[in-house]
Structure 1
Amino acid sequence: MSTTERGAPPEASAADDVTTPPPAVPPAAPRASREPKPRASKPRRVGLSIQSKLLIMLLGVSLVSSVIVGVIGFVSGRESLRAAAVDQLTTIRELRTGELERVFTGMQTGVTLDSRNLSAQNASIALNAAFEEAQSRPLTEEQRAELETYYVDEFNQALSERAGGTYAAGAFIPESTAGQYLQYEYTSKVYRFPGGELDFDAAINAGDAGDGSQWSAARERYHDYFQRIIDASGYDDVLMLDTEGNVVYAAYSGPDLGMNVMTGPLKDSQLAEAYREVMATNSVNALATTDYERYIPSLNVPAIWVVSPIGNSERVTGAMAAQIPINVLNDVLTGDERWKEQGLGDTGEVYVVGSDDLMRSTSRLLIEDPEAYAKLAVANGTPSDLVEREIEVGGTVLLQPVTTDSVRLAQQGKSGTSISRGYLGRDNITAYTPVDIDGLNWVAVARIDTEEAFAPVTDFTRTLVISTLAILLAVSVLSMLLAQVFTRPVRRLSDAVRRVAGGDLTVQVPAGSRDEFGDLGNAFNDMSSSLRIKQELIEEQRVENERLLHTLMPEAVAKRYQDGEETIAEVHQDVSVIFAELIGFDDFTASLSSDDEIAQLNALMRGFDEAAERTGVEKVRTLHGGYLASSGLIVPRVDNVRRAVEFATELRSVVERFNASNEASVELRAGIATGTVTSGLVGRTSLAYDLWGDAVNLAYRVRSVDGRPGIYVSQAVKDRLQDGVRIVSAGRIETAEGAETVWRVE
């Protein structure tokens, strides 16, 4: 049973149940045992002198500064060298790419001009007519057999050795009678492979077949013109095609002579596609350039074709196709293999890659050191059989795959530089860009190994280290001179500090050194320690006294009490009072020890205190089985009624959680009233902060209107509650103003 259930009136219980702390104690004097004892004078131990320490400090600062400067210089120098290498590589890339574009543009222009030349027009007309006349010259069975024997014994065998695979005897024999005739009279007789290699000079210089045909006469007349074009422009071959796709002339009289690019073995070639493209325009101004492709008549060697129509403004009689040699591209990109003289060092190069990620030029390392190239290429993932093929043919065109970041960015139309892994697996500095050649989707990459590009950093570092050591030597000499100058006033400063030992109490200086600064620190610390300890003791006692006062009363009341007021009482208007008691707590703790009972009560009271803090309610005092609190007492609040009801509801939740945790059946009965109250200090020898007045009495009375647990409020509280709170009538009590209804919060 609670205190109030034992019959004590509220005022009596408020005074009797409060445990009064001991009266405030004035600040005590510091105990003698904590007084600092004078330090015995000790002889100064011999250690490093100030001059030596100052010298060490100066050298240390100089060393650190030099290292920092060196690091900054190293980083800056490295970045500068890197930028210089990148700039140089970018310049080389632009020069090589520009030269490549100019060469190709020149060749394209040359083919266009050659195809529009009057000699080319006349040759086209004559060769077309001669080819038509040759349609009336079918081969005999013996001649057909001889032609097939040529392919089996020579061309097909050479092609198999070069490209692999097997080919039928008639695989490359044209369907047309004229084509068969021309191949029999010229190809099989001049396009020969003595020793397994094609005799180019014999092929290009072959004369009249002596067959008396119109075609032989036309070839005899115009062949010298085409030879001079090849010599002047550096073409690998020149083809003349009629308007139906027949190759009516080939400078080297190879297997493509007499073929039809629209229907024969070359119908799916880029040459055929370029021919169809330019002929579809029906304009002599048209031009088409093919990318590299493996060209069977040239033994599967990669070939580029530039195709332009032949004719004039009145009509187009055919097309000229010029085969661009691989060495034209390689000579431009390698600078005639003079990489080092042109700023690419020992590892730099410029290469070109097509849209299929295959190289269109030859790797520098393959040219200079095939064995080293093979090791690096295989180690970086290139199939070994492909590498063997590259070494065999001495080139990487349409063989070596390149899928580096630089190639990928350039294929996206970007130009720039990067440091990344190259196609041979080594770290490179690269400068990449798309190549602007009409009809070709190429990108160019200039690269050099980072190890070589940054080699000057080593020389720079060596110079930097030597310079730093020289600076340290000079600083050492200067530090010795400065140390001698700076140590002279030290002892005068130590004597001056001892004379002001009663100054600032909070200042401390390090006193661990064994030199003149140690003497100065000891003297200064002796002076300040005694006064500081006394001050700390006084401050500790004052803080403890204030803490005890604040546990008994609000801070504002405590301040008035400390200021010397003996009678402290205040009247407060519009204050809500909550009087809560625990029902059944004594029964719950009957079987518990005193310590356990106090522990359980403290657990509940902590929950009540936390609820008061959350809802903005002021705790007045704690009873053995209850709790007295107010809202709007210390801090005036417009919503003090709402806060009081919320606090009571929180108390009920705290009790419910306590019951659930301890399997208890403790109940809460709380009364809430609002009105005028008086607060102040009660007693003289045993101080207690208490609250009294009509609102306190009414809160005490309404809580027990029907004897059941719950939250009960006065009529004034009910009138100020919002509609959201559900309340019901619980009974009536008699007050000085007459009967008043008490309400229960559901």
Structure 2
Amino acid sequence: MSATTDTGAQHTPITEAERLRAHEIEREAAKSAPQAERRRRRGGLSIQSKLLIMLLSVSLISSVIVGVIGYINGRESLQAAAIDQLTTIRELRVNELEHTLEGVQKGVRLDSRNLSAQTLSRELNAGWDDLQTRELSPEQLAELEAYYADTFNPELEARTGETYSSTAFIPESNAGKWAQYHYTAQFADFDEALATNTAADGTPYSAAAEQYGDYLTRLVSQVGYEDLLVLNLDGDVVYSAYKGVDLGSNLLDGPYEDSSLADAYREVVATNSVNAVKTTDFERWIPSLNIPAMWVVSPIGNDSTITGVLAAQIPLDTINNAMTGDQQWKEQGLGDTGEVYVVGQDHLMRSISRELVEHPDQYAQKAISAGTPPAIADRVVAVNGTVLLQPIDTAPVVEALKGRTGSGISTSYLGDESIAAWTPVEIDGLNWVAVARITTAEAFAPVADFTRTLVLSLLGIVLAVSVLSLLLAQVFTRPIRKLVDAVRRIAGGDLAVQVPIDSRDEIGDLGSAFNDMASSLRIKQDLIDAQQTENRKLMLTLMPEAVAKRYKDGEETISEEHDNVSVVFAELVGFEEYAEGLSGASETSQLNALMRGFDEAAQKAGVEKVRTLRGGYLASSGLIVPRVDNVRRAVDFAREMRLVVQRFNSQNGTELDIRAGVDTGTVTSGLVARTSLAYDLWGDAVSLAYRVRSVTGQPGIYVSQAVRDRMQDSVTFTPAGSVELRGTAQDVWRIE
């Protein structure tokens, strides 16, 4: 914090020598006037003609040169700036994607190693072995086939356009049929299936699912997986969080044996290590109605043995949100046409297209015009997704798939000429590339505006110079005396002086420039005066007026003692633990919300905020404005702070609280430090308020004996202990 002081302007009077010098200048100007008149009468081009030719030539030539250079440099600079910006945004999006998937991989690896997963795997495997001895009745098998024929297959066929038999996805094993009948075929609602973990069929498998299935349910709900599968070492899917048609199937010889998930399963099982993790590329997953799915797979077990495999299905939104920044393209600096997307080694998109999100009605037409088959373009619009559908064979994708990073101008997959920046994506198990692009029309729009402005300006300059050149050959000696007098008045402090403009030549321009200068000086002086006033107001918001005046007068050591002042020292309880799960920006935002609530409570209660810390708040009552009821106001403010925290808890699902101490007595206030000023309080009342708040370590409002004595008729107190201050024990009371 800095303070400003008033300064007074000192004006030097005009001396006799200066007046004589001014008269000499006037006499010399008078002598030169006839000579100038004689020169104007000589033959040859007049000043007006010379000025016209000179100004037109210089302005035209310089304008054309500057315009051409500006156009070339502007286009190159804009292209370089656009590429730099695209490269930066691309790296941000790619880093977020890599960190997101790395986090998912780490999470799946940890989830598969914990004790819950190990116990779940063993119990489900044992229950699965028991199910192998059980067979469905003919009626139950018929119901299972009817589920596929009437429910699942029609939805799948509507999405794929292909036909499937009612037995195509029924497992061969007794256990698989039993699980699908008692789980998969019983649920028409996915949320109900996720929440239900028992079939109540009396089998050990159902008992194990009921006891341990909630672990997977909570992982799906809290982490946001699309689904979680548990497999045994024989390739059987012994459990699915959503109880889909993949439950009970076998990845080694079942309908999904050729899937990427099956390949990943074989690879991680072959390692026989719980540290193994495998991420698959997107593939169309029939149990998800042929929606693209990617998996992160890791063995379940410990360092000595593995008992199964955990497979987490990653939602499409995980990739889309990372690449689109939650669809905040414009806010990220990508304008109206920019985007960042990823492409796989098959030249198909792995994230959603911005054009599809913002202009779905135009997408198909643009994609088809750029070479996308009409059937694919229509399918993209129908399913509102481009993953594994939209082909991209542009030069940036081809270069990036060769392992190269670069930038340049090329045609996009929608046929637009675009500036693009591309790079490979470094994610274990995936061969993806990322491309950031923005159309050249948008990137170079300022060049077109500049060119149009340049042409119009050039025409305006030619017209203005032609007119001004005809007017500039006028008498220019007459205003000199007025200018000299005006300069002297300015030197004497008269900033309101203005010179009448009687001519339109160089002297007239000089007179106009002088007037502008005088106006500018006057405006600047007004601004300086206004700024000094604002600085004084600002200082009064940081400290009392008496302290501000003493500091302004140059005092370095400033302090005041105040009698009968109540002090509240409060700290947040539980915010550190709550902030551990927040980002830096979120933590600051949440803390600011609480502090704003405390400030409003302070204003409402009529107390003065002294300072705030991270999780702490110091306020006083009766310091600046003496108050008879300062103790009551301090206690009311402490109570209101708890209400602020309670409202925050109800809005955010937190369990924060306040531990506040209140004392009354004599305090000292003053300025601390010199280079960075801080107005602060200290003294026994402040120290006691600070110490009583922590007498029990529990949240609540704690007061000293002095506060209790003054409030005992209106507030209920309970003993909370005592603290020692200056060798004397002080009783501490808690407000109920």
Return the offset for 1:481: 10
> Do the aligned partners of residues 473 and 153 (structure 1) sit closer, same or farther apart at CA in structure 2, a change above 3 Å counting?
same
Which amino acid in 1 is paired with 2:149?
Answer: V
User: Is 1:81 the counterpart of 2:78 in the alignment?
Assistant: yes
Which residue of the other structure, out of 175, 178, 182, is the alignment partner of 1:181?
A: 178
Which residue of the other structure, out of 298, 321, 341, is the alignment partner of 1:351?
A: 341
User: Is 1:307 the counterpart of 2:297 in the alignment?
Assistant: yes
Give the structure-1-normalised TM-score.
0.55
Which residue of the other structure, out of 422, 445, 450, is the alignment partner of 1:432?
A: 422
**What corresponds to 1:126 in structure 2?**
123
Report 1:295-444 matches (<5 A). 295-444=285-434
**What corresponds to 2:40 in structure 1?**
none
SS of corresponding position for 1:166: coil
Which amino acid in 2 is paired with 1:162?
Answer: R
Return the offset for 1:371: 1.4
**What corresponds to 1:448 in structure 2?**
438
Alignment RMSD, CA only?
2.4
1:354-374 CA-to-partner distances (Å, cap 9, x unmatched) read 000000011111111111111
2: CA distance, partners of 1:478 / 1:462 = 24
**What corresponds to 2:90 in structure 1?**
93
Contact 2:324/2:339 (8 A) holds in 1: yes
1: CA distance, partners of 2:149 / 2:83 = 54
1: CA distance, partners of 2:131 / 2:52 = 106
**What corresponds to 2:162 in structure 1?**
165
SS of corresponding position for 2:200: coil
Which amino acid in 1 is paired with 2:337?
Answer: T
SS of corresponding position for 1:148: helix
1: CA distance, partners of 2:52 / 2:338 = 51
**What corresponds to 1:223 in structure 2?**
213
Contact 2:344/2:350 (8 A) holds in 1: yes
Report 1:205-220 matches (<5 A). 205-220=195-210
1:656-695 CA-to-partner distances (Å, cap 9, x unmatched) read xxxxxxxxxxxxxxxxxxxxxxxxxxxxxxxxxxxxxxxx
Contact 1:107/1:233 (8 A) holds in 2: no
2: CA distance, partners of 1:51 / 1:453 = 45
2: CA distance, partners of 1:357 / 1:144 = 43
Contact 2:49/2:469 (8 A) holds in 1: no
Return the offset for 1:59: 2.7
1:65-86 CA-to-partner distances (Å, cap 9, x unmatched) read 3202111012112221222222
Report 1:222-621 matches (<5 A). 222-465=212-455, 468=458, 472=462
1: CA distance, partners of 2:204 / 2:473 = 109
User: Is 1:137 the counterpart of 2:140 in the alignment?
Assistant: no
Contact 1:242/1:317 (8 A) holds in 2: yes
2: CA distance, partners of 1:248 / 1:206 = 16
Identical-pair percentage: 63
1:313-353 CA-to-partner distances (Å, cap 9, x unmatched) read 11110110000000111111111111111111111111110
1:198-217 CA-to-partner distances (Å, cap 9, x unmatched) read x2212212242110011111
The alignment covers a number of residue pairs equal to 432
SS of corresponding position for 2:92: helix
**What corresponds to 1:115 in structure 2?**
112
User: Is 1:59 the counterpart of 2:50 in the alignment?
Assistant: no
Return the offset for 1:232: 2.1
2: CA distance, partners of 1:474 / 1:154 = 80
Return the offset for 1:49: 9.7
Return the offset for 1:55: 5.0
SS of corresponding position for 2:318: helix
SS of corresponding position for 2:243: coil
SS of corresponding position for 2:427: coil
1:119-144 CA-to-partner distances (Å, cap 9, x unmatched) read 00110111111101100111111111
Which amino acid in 1 is paired with 2:375?
Answer: D
Return the offset for 1:482: 11
Which amino acid in 2 is paired with 1:180?
Answer: K
2: CA distance, partners of 1:139 / 1:50 = 113
Range with greater deviation from structure 2 (205-214 or 58-67): 58-67
Return the offset for 1:456: 2.0
Contact 1:130/1:215 (8 A) holds in 2: yes
Return the offset for 1:386: 1.2
> Do the aligned partners of residues 207 and 54 (structure 1) sit closer, same or farther apart at CA in structure 2, a change above 3 Å counting?
closer
SS of corresponding position for 1:442: strand
Q: Which of these two proteins has the greater Rg computed from alpha carbons?
A: 1
Return the offset for 1:57: 7.0
Which amino acid in 1 is paired with 2:147?
Answer: Y
Report 1:597-676 matches (<5 A). none
Which amino acid in 2 is paired with 1:225?
Answer: Y
1: CA distance, partners of 2:402 / 2:473 = 66
SS of corresponding position for 2:183: helix
Report 1:13-92 matches (<5 A). 56=53, 59-60=56-57, 62-92=59-89
Return the offset for 1:463: 4.7
2: CA distance, partners of 1:459 / 1:256 = 59
Give the structure-2-normalised TM-score.
0.56
Gaps of at least 5 residues in structure 1 are 1-46, 193-198, 485-746
Which amino acid in 2 is paired with 1:417?
Answer: S
SS of corresponding position for 2:296: strand
Return the offset for 1:172: 0.4
Which amino acid in 2 is paired with 1:138?
Answer: E
Which amino acid in 1 is paired with 2:193?
Answer: A
1: CA distance, partners of 2:55 / 2:370 = 53
1:695-714 CA-to-partner distances (Å, cap 9, x unmatched) read xxxxxxxxxxxxxxxxxxxx
1: CA distance, partners of 2:378 / 2:332 = 30
2: CA distance, partners of 1:456 / 1:228 = 52
Contact 1:55/1:483 (8 A) holds in 2: no
Return the offset for 1:458: 3.4
Higher relative contact order (CA 8 A, sep 6+): 1
Contact 1:235/1:323 (8 A) holds in 2: yes
2: CA distance, partners of 1:239 / 1:267 = 15
**What corresponds to 1:151 in structure 2?**
148
2: CA distance, partners of 1:208 / 1:280 = 32
Return the offset for 1:64: 2.6
